Structure 1
Amino acid sequence: MRRARRRGPRGKRRHAARDRGGAAMSARLPAHPSRGASRTLSVVGPIVAVALAILAWSAIKWALDLKDFVLPSPLGVARAFLDDPAPFLRGALQSAGSALLGFAIAAAGGVLLGSTISLSRTVERSVYPLTLLFQMVPLVAIAPLLVLWFGYGRPAIVASAAIVAIFPVIASTVSGLASRDPNLDELFRVLGAGRLAIWWKLALPSAVPSIVTGLKIAAGLATIGTICGEFLAGTGGENAPLGVMITTALRNFQTERVFVSVLLAAGVGFAVFGCVALASRLVLTRWMR
């Protein structure tokens, strides 16, 4: 007991020293980066990447001594856009509109078809393999049929975008609806819920994250399908879309205009994906609540 009493104050002093040392060490450790710094990095990072890409582009052209009709300079591409930006902007708006329409059709049709497939084993075994087979058919192979059915112009282009984008939505819907907890499924049946009630109140809410992922993939594919459709079924004129502008500039060896159109097509794809990603985030935020 005496030893314990003698050691008591020493133990307290040791613990106090350890606490002071721990506080000093924690004060020396660097603080975690703030949210403002991470946001700044997320903005500055892409800008630096674009600047490095432009420098690499210029270096390749200079090192290989490439002609402008093979690889134009970044300044030449910028000049081609700034000299007459109106046709490029009109073409970008045309392509963006077709991509959004095709995506909307693919989203609605994909969720509807995926839900129908998931409700019936017979439909799943008969229809789902056909969707896989249809997805493997190259777009170039069915382009003549699209022109025959819809004619040249926007209807065929929108159909091309929808065909390319619909399969990820179907697959993600089927996968999401099938991933629900079977115990909850059985509980709903015990409580007297029918198949449609289970789908609406259990399966569909459980499938929202998977469907959102499929929609994001479809957003990028819709832009690709749009540009391919414009290559095959687009028409020229004052409001020519980007795909038509690319083919026209290639025929005339206007490589600068080709690069402008390609970069704008990438911008259209990024914008469409950004809109879908923002809408998906809002949906997921509400779903999490």
Structure 2
Amino acid sequence: MSKSVERLAPYVFGLIALGAWQGLVWALDVPSYVLPGPIAIVQAYLDGHQVLNQALLSTLSVTFVALVAATAIGVALAVAMAASPLFRAAIQPWAVILQVTPIVAIAPFIIIWVNQPFLALVVCAVIMAFFPILSNTAAGLASTPPELRDLFRLNGATRWQTLTLLSLPAALPSFLTGLRVSGTLALVGAVVAEFVAGSGGFASGLAYRIIEASYRLEIPRMFAALVLLGLSGIVIYAALGWLEAALLRRRDGA
């Protein structure tokens, strides 16, 4: 099977699934407030595209800021954990506890404590996103070949030189893998936080538009917002995958 066929396979499957969905809605005469077809969803988006696009930009801005913050925090903690076994022993269990705690359970407290809507949403998204970067980067730093460390030490390299010239480049693939995962988690964290904030009356983001549409029984518009979220997640994952491939290609070709 050629690679071009493999690339086209997801799109062909998607078109077939959408056609079957629309056909079943027509054949069974399903009301749009129960299950709208793709045509009704597209029409709902076209009717409210300005509001939905503005909400999408709000959600993506939270996601981007959270991903940048999560990257900085995750890498800094990973480097500190690699440099100090005592620091790793003190921090790692708390990072795991924070990761396994459902964000929907602590988001109301964060929104109350931070008392600044955009910053509160960013904090929630950071909590969701930072752990894959932390764990993957720490694993990458720990996997640096010991013989290369010894070689650097024998040549009189300082700890900073060993870190920047050896350990961090060696950990780059692991870091980029964690970054791809964190990109989608940042979006999920932003949406979850927006749901909580939207229930409290903070009108921002696609999650709030979903809540608003559900109150009005505008189900096609709800689906339109969900489609935008799904497409955003795909674009974020693909963009970070392209960045990963470009950086690794540049590193290997250098």
Q: TM-score, normalising length from structure 1? A: 0.81
- Aligned match of 2:30: 66
**Where in structure 1 are there 5+ consecutive unaligned residues?**
1-31
Letter of the 2:143 partner, please give it. S
In structure 2, C-alpha distance between the alignment counterparts of 1:222 and 1:122, rounded to whole Å: 29
Moved over 3 A (4+): 38-41, 59-66, 234-237
In structure 2, C-alpha distance between the alignment counterparts of 1:41 and 1:285, rounded to whole Å: 23
- Post-superposition shift, 1:152? 5.3
In structure 2, C-alpha distance between the alignment counterparts of 1:79 and 1:133, rounded to whole Å: 44
Given the alignment, which residue of 96, 99, 103 partners 1:132? 96
* C-alpha contact 1:152 1:233 (8 A) present in aligned 2: no
- Aligned match of 2:70: 106
- Aligned match of 2:211: 247
In structure 2, C-alpha distance between the alignment counterparts of 1:63 and 1:139, rounded to whole Å: 41
Q: How does 1:213-224 map to 2 (within 5 A)?
A: 213-224=177-188
Corresponding residue pairs, total:
251
- Post-superposition shift, 1:60? 4.4
Aligned identity (percent) is 31
Deviates more, 1:141-150 or 1:95-104: 141-150
Say if 2:6 is the partner of 1:49: no
Residues 57/151 of structure 1: CA separation in 2 closer, same or farther (3 Å cut): farther
- Post-superposition shift, 1:59? 4.3
In structure 1, C-alpha distance between the alignment counterparts of 2:146 and 2:24, rounded to whole Å: 58
- Aligned match of 2:250: 286
- Aligned match of 1:79: 43
Letter of the 2:170 partner, please give it. S
* C-alpha contact 2:117 2:202 (8 A) present in aligned 1: no
- Aligned match of 1:188: 152
* C-alpha contact 2:82 2:88 (8 A) present in aligned 1: yes
Deviates more, 1:257-266 or 1:226-235: 226-235
**RMSD value, Cα:** 1.9
* C-alpha contact 1:95 1:268 (8 A) present in aligned 2: no
> Deviations 1:144-203 (Å, cap 9, x if unpaired)?
221123225221111111110100000001100011111111222222223222211111
Q: Which has the larger radius of gyration?
A: 1
- Post-superposition shift, 1:39? 4.4
Q: How does 1:263-274 map to 2 (within 5 A)?
A: 263-274=227-238
Say if 2:173 is the partner of 1:209: yes
Letter of the 1:164 partner, please give it. M
* C-alpha contact 2:111 2:121 (8 A) present in aligned 1: no
